[in-house]
Amino acid sequence: MEKIILKRTKIVATLGPASSDPAVIEKMINAGANVFRLNFSHGNHETHLKNIKQIREISEKTGIYVGILGDLCGPKIRVGKFESGFAVLEMGDHFFLSEDPLCVGTKAGIGTSYPYLTKDIKPGNIVLLDDGNIMLEALYPEDNRFYFRVLAGGVLKDKKGLNMPGINLSVETITQKDKEDLRFIIENELDFVALSFVRRAQDVIELKQLLNGADLRIIAKIEKPEAISELDKILDNCEGVMIARGDLGVELPVQTVPAIQKQILKRCSDRGKTVITATQMLESMMENQIPTRAETTDVYNAIVDGSDAVMLSGETAAGKHPVKAVKMMADIALEAEKAVGAVNFHYILPGVERKLEEVMAQCACEASYNACSKAIVTFTHSGNTALNISKYHPPTLIFALTPFQKTCRRLSLSWGVVPVIVKDMKSTDEMLAEAEQVMKRLEVVKSGEIITMVAGLPIGFVGNTNFMKLHKVS
């Protein structure tokens, strides 16, 4: 392992034209990126496959095994293309939206990707374009078009988003394109899949059925108001959520988003579920080399409030300074973690069933804290031991020693977990010796200091966490 930043908060970096060069990917890994997001709303399978191969080759080279998240685009509704690339809409104008995606746009109207406009929209409904910058009031349908009055105008460009807050949409959450992308994700053994525009638990259940047993951790994107009221049921069926503040802030009044973010963080924390906070975190770094003070505070507070991971979108996909954006986010995370200390350490998780492995994880965290242990070290084949310990957000780092690269990648999104490749162990004596060697090599402990060891005996049996030892390093 060449370089490692010993931070607890994980960083998800989106790949795109600004960051697909192998040299840039390697620099982002060394700057602190833990997971790379492939956005299936953009690019094609050929481009994504190239990025997957590059990431895995660089992981082998550096010894830092980062995860890959495939983000399904879902039923994102967009306008089509204009004759001139844009149209200026002014307050009071009449403007139509068509169900025909090939309807070329003019100042009078434009086609959309949504075939149920005239079915779902009613007179008086509000429709938002371009992330809420343009507001339309529904007037009347005519054939396959709906006519609107412009309430708030602006410049509307090709392929901008269309939101219909408060309207019950007829479209399925998982589209045909999503199913094709999911097959690609499974074939190429990605580590995580994010489902966009989740509205109910059934959406996640359908995705699980499509996975057909594939080893992929599901991240449900919370960007629709309906998902908030169904959050507990959604959490029952996924490994974590992404707070996608972009569409959430369009579907709901923007001033309510901070409170909703805190609510989601708290409910996920109680249930030991992973939370990624995303969207516009360091937006100004699309152009600038340093973020605004407000952005810095946003990232800092998201971490203090309990985010397991924070995400960069356009900042790394299309921004001018992708590596600096990752480095800045890592620096903010380290500062936030200093302030948090043991504040976010959960002595008990009210929403987690008390199985044996959960009790062992909790005991390991408490013992480590009370003994002033320098690290928690787990030997794991599946990664489950480290995952269970991570839920409690202990103040010490969790080092997951495993012989499997897939397990390292699976743990790349888990708060506080540092995955390390080691040889397979045959005995507890081997485990203890290897733990000491790895901890000293990473300069985590010195002779005479304590580490907390956690494993399952007999060694190699999955789901058998039953061993813990407070070990003084020789």
Kindly list the catalytic residues: 37, 78, 221, 279
Q: Judging by beta carbons within 10 Å of its beta carbon (0-12, 13-18, 19+), is residue 406 exposed, middle or buried?
A: middle
Within a 10 A sphere around the Cβ of 5, how many other Cβ atoms? Answer: 19
HEC secondary structure over 193-223: EEECCCCCHHHHHHHHHHHCCCCCEEEEEEC
* Contacts of 390 by beta carbon, 8 Å cutoff, 6+ apart: 308, 398, 414, 415, 416, 417
| Backbone angle region of 83, left / alpha / beta, with phi > 0 → left and psi within -120 to 50 → alpha | alpha
Tokens representing 69? 């998240």
How far is residue 400 CA from its own chain's centroid?
A: 21
Buried b (16+ CB within 10 A) or exposed e, 420-455: bbbeebeeeeebbebbbebbeebebbeeeebbbbbb
Residue 456, CB-side half-sphere exposure with 13 Å CA sphere: 20
Map tokens 């800092």 to a residue: 300
> How far is residue 200's CA from residue 185's CA, in Å, rounded to a whole number?
23
